[in-house]
Copies of this chain bind each other. A is one copy, B any other.
Amino acid sequence: MSTRRRGEELEQAILRAAAEELRESGYAGMTMDRVAARAGTNKNAIYRRWPHRAALGIAAYRHLTDAVMPDPDTGSLRGDALEMLRRANQTWSSPYGAILRGLLAAAADDPELLTHMRERSGADTMDRAWLTMLRRAAARGEAPTAAAHPRVATTPMMLLRAEYAMRGHPSVPDAVLVEIVDEVFLPLVHGRGSDQGQALDQIEDREGGGERAQQ
């Protein structure tokens, strides 16, 4: 019998086991006993490192997905936008996406966990990528500079996320992605700069400084 594992080595083994359980059974099916058994250890070693099952789940998910995608650069705004949506759709409809959704659902009760999840899910990185994409398009003269607005930049991903929530969980059809780009995103981008160009800081003036503001 080989030497007994400790510290970092054991921790990695646990994380690997948990990640495999996540992939096979989803978060709902990930059992502490099974993770311990698969890692060749016992629950003690796990609970000494993570306080709950959820914490282990998040750590394992992070251990599972650490790849970062480079920004797309197809030469046209439409191509870039479609590529971004397609990549996101692929990620979210993959087993990883199913796991992430399970985790999000489980963390729905726990605000603290939800925060940790958001940090790890790369939503902010994604939004920044859309903004730089818009700025590149503006530099090419393909879009008005006013189009590089956060609300505009985040709209396609928001629509994709909502689409996931509405449907079951299978991947969103490509036609929907195309429609999001052609029927919403591009019209929105091109509509700006003409008569609709409203800067963010003009909104409050129009609204009288927060009429009916909540909280």
Contact = CB atoms under 8 A, between A and B. Distances in A.
Interface of A: 26, 28, 86, 89, 93, 101-102, 104-106, 108-109, 111, 114-115, 118, 123, 149, 151-152, 155, 157-159, 161-163, 165-166, 168-175, 178-180, 182-184, 186-188, 190-192, 195-196, 198, 200, 203-204, 206-207, 210-215
Copies of this chain present = 2
A151 B165 contact: no
A28 B166 CA distance: 21
B196 A190 contact: yes
B118 A183 contact: no
A151 to B, nearest CB: 4
A175 B155 contact: no
Contacts of A118: 166
Nearest to A108: B105
Interface centre among A162, A174, A195 (most CB of B within 10 A): A162
Contacts of A108: 101-102, 105, 169
B182 A191 contact: no
B28 A171 contact: no
Contacts of A105: 104-106, 108
Contacts of A180: 151
Nearest to A112: B168
Given A105-B105, A174-B213, A187-B196, 9 more contacts: A26-B109, A89-B214, A105-B106, A151-B179, A158-B166, A161-B166, A162-B165, A179-B203, A183-B200
Nearest to A181: B203
A198 B182 contact: yes
Nearest to A102: B108
Nearest to A86: B212
A102 to B, nearest CB: 6
A157 to B, nearest CB: 8
A115 B155 CA distance: 26
